Amino acid sequence: MVRASYIQIYNEVVSDLLRNEKKQLNIREDPRKGVYVEGVSEWAVVKPQEILDLMKMGTKTRAIAKTNMNESSSRSHAVFIITIEQMK
């Protein structure tokens, strides 16, 4: 199973780029799961194009602003997360 998530960190706030609601998410650590983002949406993907579509969708909601050097400069850091799970 392959799942994808997309988050941004803007002004020290972590938010989900693939959800309409803009609530703050928390980064957690678990002995079994490792580091993860609590409450982030995960989207099942099968084809590479589905991953590209999610990236395009999330990129549209990123925080941007005009600067002297760039018309659409990103104001945030973004992390695209792909989780691959193998069942035995």
How far is Cα 6 from Cα 82, in angstroms, rounded to an integer? Answer: 9
Domain ranges of the chain: 2-84
pLDDT for 11 equals 84
pLDDT for 43 equals 97
DSSP category for residue 31:
T
pLDDT digits (tens, 9 = 90+) for 14-69: 999 999 887 899 999 999 989 999 999 999 999 999 999 999 999 888 876 656 66
